[in-house]
Amino acid sequence: MSVVRRPDAGADARPGGGLDARRVVGLILRREFVTRVRTRAFKITTAIMVLAVVGLPVGIHLFGAPSSIRTVGLAPANAAMAAPVVGAARTVGQEVKVRTLPDVPTGERELASGRLDALLDGAPDTLTVVANKGLDDKLRQAVTVLAQQQALNAAITRAGGDPAAVASAVAAAKFDVRSLKPAPRYQGERIALGLLAGILVYVSLMIYGQTVAQGVVEEKTSRVVELLLATVRPWQLMLGKVVGIGSVGLGQLVVVAAAGLAAALGTGVLSIPSGIAVGAVGWTLAWYLLGFLLYALLFAAAGALVSRQEDVGAVTGPILMLIIVPYVVGVSVLPIDPENGLARVLSLIPFFSPMLMPMRTALGVAPWWEVALTVALTGALTAGLVGLSARVYRNSVMRTGARVPVRDALRAS
């Protein structure tokens, strides 16, 4: 390993130390921001993300959401079963549309063309279900309920009873529901907002967090860092790079989120009150910023440990897991169980908060005190990491060759 020594390598004072620190950081920030927003990659990724978030609500508005209604055909001999089919489907939460076909061959052709989901044939007590490739679970449950009802009706008739009277008595049975908590409003749309918030934060952190590490290595490899550190302090260079790249990601996220929200509200796909939607977007942007500052400090320090792009993955892997794990928990658990205990506990941990808290906030299940607590904890951890990351960066960024051990990087220079 070769080490490039500076005349003042043993101290943090620089030849340009008399410059105002904020001005120096601002100049570096501006350089990073302007350079990266002018790249073709930034323009292409921004365009793709905007098209994705705008295209989804516009597509739903123009063509409608995928229909959950199933179409069931009846052979001529089963025409009287239309009402029982609809009733049986409703008991399992499935909406169906019933069509009576002139004959079974016509029904089979309709099945093959996709205009029917199932065809019922045979006597009421010996039903035959014809499907193109198979029945989905809901439709299978509905047919099962129908077959059981038909068997019950046959048994009542044999016993001398009136199946219609029994069905009427069963239909008249009611029960009252008393909830300890009011049913959440706009739950489906809140889930969609939560998922979108999690995805946007995840994608942005993955892209721009790794950009920080790769940028540090590029400057080491090209030895540009030696020229920069001749006039600025290491912590100024690191902080300017982190904030500059973070500003690029934040600007992109603002454009994407604003475009998606405007499209969803403008097309009427999102009927949730605009205040709730705007609040969810605002917290998404805030958590991206908090999360980026937290992770980017780690990415910058990790990038300073190596001198080749091929080695970046090895040092950034553990940091990526801090982003991936809460993201997986969020998108797999929260849509099904918004008040899940594990997700709630993890969202209070600063390293996991930037991924989980915007999703919980969009779902409306995060109390204000939890949000305030996690913001304070994440801010405090980030402030503490500034000094630690700056030390690792200062002690490693001028060292080329083999990977710098973390223990050596943490030693006072």
pLDDT at position 377:
96
Highest mean pLDDT among 64-73, 182-191, 229-238, 276-285: 276-285
Residues 136 and 266 in one domain: no
* Residue 235: alpha-carbon gap to chain centroid: 33
Average model confidence (pLDDT) for the chain?
83
Residues 224 and 368 in one domain: yes
Domain boundary among 105, 137, 167: 167
pLDDT over 70 (residue 15): no
In a domain, 174, yes or no: no
Tokens 């992770």 found at = 295
Whether 355 and 291 have beta carbons less than 8 Å apart is answered as: yes
pLDDT over 50 (residue 379): yes
pLDDT over 90 (residue 176): no
In a domain, 108, yes or no: yes
Report pTM: 0.71
Whether 350 and 377 have beta carbons less than 8 Å apart is answered as: yes
pLDDT over 70 (residue 5): no
Residues spanned by the domain of 10? 2-62+186-410
In a domain, 100, yes or no: yes
Residues 241 and 287 in one domain: yes
Structure tokens at 40: 């073709």
In a domain, 176, yes or no: no
Residues 75 and 53 in one domain: no
Domain boundary among 139, 167, 195: 167
Residues 6 and 154 in one domain: no
Residues 346 and 208 in one domain: yes
For 288-329, the pLDDT digits (tens) are 999 999 999 999 999 889 888 888 888 999 999 999 999 999
In a domain, 387, yes or no: yes
Residues 6 and 150 in one domain: no
The CATH number given to whatever domain includes residue 109 is 3.40.190.10
Q: Which of 51-60, 153-162, 252-261 has the lowest mean pLDDT?
A: 153-162
Residues 336 and 245 in one domain: yes
Residues 333 and 237 in one domain: yes
| More confident of the two residues 254 and 18 | 254
286: left (phi > 0), else alpha (psi -120 to 50), else beta?
alpha
Proportion of the chain above pLDDT 90, given as a percent? 30
| More confident of the two residues 144 and 125 | 144
Instruction: Please state the rounded mean pLDDT for residues 266-270.
Output: 82
Q: Regarding beta strands 96-100 and 70-74, do their DSSP bridges make them parallel or antiparallel, or are they unpaired?
A: parallel
Residues 291 and 403 in one domain: yes
63-87 CB burial, b ≥16 within 10 A, e <16: eeeeeeebbbbbbeebeebbebbbb
Residues 271 and 347 in one domain: yes
In a domain, 110, yes or no: yes
Structure tokens at 328: 């997986």
Residues 116 and 234 in one domain: no
In a domain, 173, yes or no: no
The secondary structure element, H or E, covering residue 117 is none
In a domain, 15, yes or no: yes
pLDDT at position 162:
78
Domain boundary among 167, 198, 230: 167
Structure tokens at 239: 């902080």
Rounded CA gap, 122 and 139, in Å?
18
Domains in the chain: how many in total? 2
Rounded CA gap, 161 and 386, in Å?
82
For 52-101, the pLDDT digits (tens) are 999 988 887 777 656 678 888 888 877 778 888 888 888 888 888 888 88
pLDDT over 80 (residue 14): no
